[in-house]
């Protein structure tokens, strides 16, 4: 039996449609939802804030034995209502990532060489040395700079 190109295309189209119908008939959503509950079953829930931008969307961090197993939007958060943008949705990959840096390079004042320091040391140092002025002081500095003709001002908290 010879099959023409046209017959072959018709048969292929019919087979593809049948396969598509088979897939459509089978609803995977309940299975996916159940798999998700298994992943966070018995996990501790901690409310948190997305670390990426100033919108500050709410997140729930699931952890088991101190290890983060899932991060998702917090439906109880009054601003984001459980939603996260694509960047915020990928926060889990920020936390659990073998390429995440665990040490920093530090060059002390007047030193000519870099030293390797633990990440926790750097975090404490940044926390101790950032935002050292009050809002009122920032306001006065802003006014002073405006009086001196500075048009563009930047501040790490962007108040």
* Positions that interact with ligand SF4 (CB under 6 A): 50, 52-53, 55-57, 84-85, 87-88
Other Cβ atoms less than 10 A from the Cβ of 139: the count is: 12
Between 82 and 138, CB nearer to ligand SF4: 82
Closer to ligand SF4 by Cβ: residue 64 or 85: 85
Residue environment code for 33-60, b if the CB has 16+ CB neighbours within 10 A, otherwise e: eeeeeeebeebeeeeeebeeeeeebbbb
For the bound state, the minimum distance from the C-beta of residue 136 to ligand SF4, rounded and expressed in Å, comes to 28
C-alpha distances out from residue 48 to 51, 57, 131, Å: 9, 9, 21
Q: Which residue is nearest to ligand SF4 (CB)?
A: 88
Least distance between ligand SF4 and beta carbon 64 (Å) = 24
Torsion of CA 135, 139, 142, 146, to 10 degrees: 170
Residue 56 or 75: the one with the smaller Cβ distance to ligand SF4 is 56
Nearer to ligand SF4, 82 or 104 (CB): 82
């Amino acid at each position: 039996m010879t099959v023409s190109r046209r017959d072959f295309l018709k048969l292929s189209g019919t087979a593809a449609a049948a396969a598509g119908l088979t897939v459509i008939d089978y609803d995977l959503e309940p299975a996916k939802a159940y798999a998700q509950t298994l992943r966070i079953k018995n996990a501790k829930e901690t409310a948190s804030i997305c670390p990426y931008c100033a919108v500050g969307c709410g997140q729930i961090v699931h952890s088991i034995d101190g290890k983060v197993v899932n991060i998702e939007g917090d439906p109880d958060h009054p601003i984001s209502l459980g939603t996260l943008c694509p960047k915020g949705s990928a926060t889990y990959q920020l936390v659990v990532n073998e390429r995440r840096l665990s040490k920093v390079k530090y060059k002390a004042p007047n030193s000519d060489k870099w030293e390797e320091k633990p990440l926790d040391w750097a975090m404490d140092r940044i926390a101790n040395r950032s935002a050292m002025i009050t809002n009122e002081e920032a306001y006065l500095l802003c006014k002073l700079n405006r009086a001196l003709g500075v048009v563009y001002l930047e501040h790490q908290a962007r108040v």
